[in-house]
Amino acid sequence: MATAVKLVTVAEFLDRPDVAGGYEELRQGEVVMVAWPKQPHASLQYRIRILLELELGDAAIVDKEMGFRARPEFEIRRADVGVVSPSRWEAAELSGYLMGAPELVIEVESPSNTAREFREKEALCLATGAIAYWVVYPDLREVTVADAEGIRRYRDGDEIELHGFGGKHVAVSELLGPQRK
């Protein structure tokens, strides 16, 4: 017989103590422990953040580990890198969390990620405000981009349009940096 899981509300989640060694997300009412990124992952997040800040300037706020309430209840997530308009960022400062997904959500693949996890987060983000959802695969030197038009793959030599941010583009090779040996 299956045991019923007690769903946790956002208010209950926010009352929980801090967690050493990682952070928690609220996924469909269930608390999920997520480890802090290791250095290669964090370095790539940082590289992507800086590159997008330079490209977008004042048109957007770019941050790593960006927290957001994908839905009003039962969902608090983090984007490895999130990109939002300044007006949404300012509204989030007043409420404590960005309401809905950032306009651009970027995830960097790590060994603990699963394809199912990426698909579920992609669907959630695109349904709650994201214009695009990217998954960066450093070892493959590939970026998948999901948006209203479908899913496309980009590799070294390709450029990705930053939809919703004035038609600007970013090169995959610049996002990923030099190839690792």
Specify if 93 maps to a domain.
yes
Q: What is the pLDDT of residue 26?
A: 67
129: alpha, beta or left, given left = phi > 0 and alpha = psi -120 to 50? left
Residue 20 has pLDDT above 60, yes or no: no
Q: Quote the pLDDT of residue 62.
A: 97
> For residue 15, how many other CB atoms are within 10 A of its CB?
9
Is the pLDDT confidence value at 156 over 80?
A: yes
Per the domain annotation, does 152 fall within a domain? yes
The confidence score (pLDDT) of residue 167 equals 83
The predicted pLDDT at position 16 comes to 64
Q: Give the residue among 39, 66, 68, 63 at the shortest CA–CA distance from 52.
A: 63
* Residue 29 resides in a domain: no
What's the CA angle centered on 171, arms 165 and 173, to 5 degrees?
A: 150
The pLDDT of residue 11 is above 90: no
Residue 166 has what pLDDT? 83
The total number of structural domains in the chain stands at: 1
pLDDT tens-place string over residues 86-121: 999 988 877 678 999 999 999 999 888 889 999 999
In a domain, residue 142? The reply is yes
Residue 22 lies in a domain: no
Confidence of residue 23 (pLDDT cuts 50, 70, 90): low
**Cα–Cα distance between 117 and 13 in angstroms, integer?**
21
Give the residue among 172, 82, 66 at the shortest CA–CA distance from 133: 82
- Catalogue the long-range contacts made by 169-176 (C-beta closer than 8 Å, 24 or more residues apart): 170/51, 170/52, 170/55, 172/141, 172/142, 172/143, 174/51, 175/47, 175/48, 175/51, 175/136, 175/143, 176/44, 176/136, 176/138, 176/141
For residue 144, the model assigns a pLDDT of 97
Q: Considering the entire predicted model, what is its pTM? A: 0.83
3 within a domain of the structure (yes/no): no
Tell me the pLDDT of the chain averaged across its residues: 87
- Is residue 24 in some structural domain? no
Domain that holds residue 90: 37-176
Any idea which of 63-77, 120-134, 153-167 has the lowest mean pLDDT? 63-77
Using CA atoms, how far apart are residues 112 and 48, in angstroms rounded to an integer? 20
Q: Give the other-Cβ count within 10 Å of 36's Cβ.
A: 12
pLDDT in tens, 34-77: 766 778 888 999 999 999 999 999 999 999 989 898 887 888 88
Establish if 116 belongs to a structural domain. Answer: yes
For residue 49, what is the domain's CATH number? 3.90.1570.10
Say if CB 39 and CB 108 are below 8 A apart.
no
**Nearest CA-CA partner of 170 in 128, 130, 119, 136:** 136
In the predicted model, is pLDDT for residue 15 greater than 90? no
Task: Check whether 18 has a pLDDT greater than 70.
Answer: no
